Chain A
């Protein structure tokens, strides 16, 4: 398949792995964070950690949008869904995310009209065919999905739809990376930068990571060879004493991003003063809300939102996993009380969540390593 097979060649992967090993200084350890959940998924699915020397560790970052939604926002969504005449729409992965009062599925079972959609455009179609209902789209995601939400609002405005609104939970990636860099828990040597967020925002917003924090960042694609090559590029920078922003994913990511997408986001949404992230706490200017000019599509102004902060379950250590402080299997409830079928924490829900990715693909190889080590 074009754009796929050539990036999964095992021979090339082995050659890259050998080259990666040769770049590592003996006795030095390297810790790189892959910011994006899509990368985490690829790393576990293709067993990429097995290709790396023992002194190169990959740490999973906060770039799974489902994982960083705090429980309070799940409860707020359910509250809106329970109002008379409301049809709530949401991406599929959100349906199972546990809130303080259960998940969307639980609420649906109790009578709320919550429907899974593949895009906000699908929610718009539901609004057109149900003029007597108030249709709300629960919008989540980084800069990759914000353009879709923005365009949908503009389309709704052009059509003069009066029964459609957005419950905006979009977050932005740069403040989350900065929060991680400022966290005293973690010492990182570099970043594997998010590929498709960068399609929208470009590579320039990462400059401060290289300049102020002195860490290299390589924007990477999602195939196994993309990620191995990005690790190779990071190690090359470190070996040469450089810290720069580089773009491994040039076949997709323009250096300046997608100006049209940035324009529609900016036209319809603005930064919130602060927003709570699961595991990272409240981060200033890290999320988007609907602008005044589009208030008619803002569910937060149409409905009364409880906005109650709900503490995560005590057993759940998603926060530490999201910051890369803990590996998924180091969480006390991983794979026992918390599984993809009955998740306690968000990281076990989405296929991009570190815990779900590791549960689905990684745990067997780890068991093999353990057996080999302990006989």
Chain B
């Protein structure tokens, strides 16, 4: 740089050259266009649904606020607050407005007359006094929101990779508590790179119609909170669509997680379920770590992870996840299956 002529054309030109030279080696990430292309329709959908979402949020709030109130007496075991809960709409007259909002997926509320009173009825007083008249038609009445500790028995199921190399599977999480509760959010699906896989090339996105995860069901309306009776659960499906090649040294495996021993987890599918609580303890393979991606689900409420699974053979790609869908109780726990879409 020159020592004189401040602001001169020469200095400006020099700066121009310097600036261009300074970033001449900066090159786009090759996956950038793909990411943008995936994200744009999603963002549009979000904009489009902005006001629909506002309505949904209002409904959610309407359902969740009493639910939150209902949780409090559970924590504080205070009789006074329990009293206030009743004032919040745990009445036996379902509100007319609620009736009209009944999403297809919201499970029928505990308002069933069958002989299965939840032991915690006393504490979660909001669990709706039995009212045979309203029964299943009444939509989200107040049940307490599911605490993280209410949800468990997480399992993961993965199908073998399809011809296109994509891998599909799902996580199932159940209400392991003795009371009904409402799942208030979709939870988190996270993907972590293992071996030579590249974390920066791994994305998790919501599944939308027309995206690359063609085997996932088209997303429908999501009705949260989703009420789970004891034993009932929800399922979050995912599809792993690998993208790009591995660094040449990385070994490629053709099938999903061939080396991980199938843990005899409850209700597991045929292929490699690995409940997070049980240590998957992958048997050491003679070669170096194969590239792998660990896909894990954490329910709303945060850690710990409910279930995870390892997909090997690719170094980057996208996890497409769906919203939770209801899963009936496994065994003879329930006589009536919930309204499953």
Is the A/B pair a real complex?
no
